[in-house]
Amino acid sequence: MADYFPPAEDYATLRVSVEHGVAKVTLDNPPVNVLSVELMTELLHFLRTVRDVPSIRVIVFGSAIPDFFIAHVDMTLNPESTAFVELMKAAPEGLNVFQSVSEAVRNQPQVTIVKLAGIARGGGAEFVTAADMSFAAIETAGLAQCEALMGITPGGAGTQYLTHRLGRNRALEVVLGADLFDASTAERYGWINRALPAAELDAFVDRLARHIAALPDGVIEAAKLAVPPADLTEGFIREHDAWAGLIARPAAGRLIRGGLERGAQTPDGELRLEDLLRDLWEDMKEPAAG
């Protein structure tokens, strides 16, 4: 296949550049980089397009929005929209739409690296965990599986990735505690590779990516063959069933709608999302208690 990559103007939510075998993909879906249908569609298209391009050996994902990598799945997403239905149809058998995005990253033949300078929650945290490697800024990065505060559980592979990577006890802490983890704690738990000072993050990731891309032919392929992703097929089905059983309940709809009304998916609201959703749930419970 020719050494082709899509120019940046082909995408509305991605900026793409390639140099020295490294594709830099900058997520740019303001105001907070929600994982919208458009962003999912473009990410999947990019990954498919470069999958068999031999000159691209490493993919580095970053964000154009300093405070946020991917906030979470778009809370305004319409599951009956034509674009979402098309994504559903294209998802591999046994995976839902959100799992298909995570698994596309996890099974990409190139080495995938996340450079995390801001916050990644929900589907954004799942994206980070799906990558081969992830490096985060000590002062500014954060990770959370916040779905429990919306009345649901993670549905984009997070439960399976976390259990495999962190162990069951810490996975349950992340999922049910629903707190924002700082980079140093995430490193200690094994959620990310390394926490670095923000001033060193770009240079470290750039150096690592270039060194990997410069390896002799066949080394990357052999390493990824020797260290394959775990087979989580049965777990994905259990995860989807758990998520689907909760998303249909009234509490989830009320929490998602109420969260949006109180500022979710705005920069200010997202910086305090856990508190925003906990306060909302307490207010929702008061009439029932009265």
Confidence of residue 245 (pLDDT cuts 50, 70, 90): very high
pLDDT surpassing 80 at residue 9: no
- Give residue for tokens 């200010």: 268
Is 140 strand, coil or helix? coil
Q: What is the pLDDT of residue 124?
A: 98
Which of the pair, 3 or 72, is modelled with greater confidence? 72
- Give residue for tokens 């020797």: 226
In DSSP terms, which residues pair with 116 in a beta bridge?
Answer: 136
Q: What is the pLDDT of residue 287?
A: 65
pLDDT surpassing 80 at residue 48: yes
For residues 56 and 48, the answer to whether their CB atoms sit within 8 Å is: no
Q: What is d(CA 56, CA 20) in angstroms, rounded to the nearest whole number?
A: 8
For residues 121 and 146, the answer to whether their CB atoms sit within 8 Å is: yes
pLDDT surpassing 60 at residue 61: yes
Amino acid at 39: L
Which of the pair, 223 or 7, is modelled with greater confidence? 223
Q: What is the pLDDT of residue 288?
A: 56
Q: What is d(CA 60, CA 225) in angstroms, rounded to the nearest whole number?
A: 20
In DSSP terms, which residues pair with 137 in a beta bridge?
Answer: 196
HSE value, Cβ hemisphere, 13 Å, CA-based, for 88: 8
Model confidence pLDDT, tens digit, residues 74-118: 999 999 999 999 999 999 999 999 999 999 999 999 999 999 999
CA dihedral 148, 258, 144, 67 (to 10 degrees): 180
Q: What is the pLDDT of residue 290?
A: 47
Instruction: Write out the H or E segment, with its range, that includes residue 120.
Output: strand 119-121
Confidence of residue 2 (pLDDT cuts 50, 70, 90): very low
Give mean pLDDT, residues 34-54. Answer: 97
The residue extents of the domains of the chain are 8-226
Give mean pLDDT, residues 246-259. Answer: 97
Q: What is the pLDDT of residue 7?
A: 57
Instruction: Tell which CATH classification among 3.40.50.300, 3.40.50.2000, 1.10.540.10, 3.90.226.10 matches the domain 8-226.
Output: 3.90.226.10
Confidence of residue 286 (pLDDT cuts 50, 70, 90): confident
Give mean pLDDT, residues 226-243. Answer: 97
What are the backbone dihedrals phi and psi of residue 95, each rounded to the nearest 5 degrees, phi first? -125, 145
Arithmetic mean of pLDDT over the chain: 95
Give mean pLDDT, residues 238-248. Answer: 97
Give mean pLDDT, residues 110-134. Answer: 98
pLDDT surpassing 90 at residue 43: yes
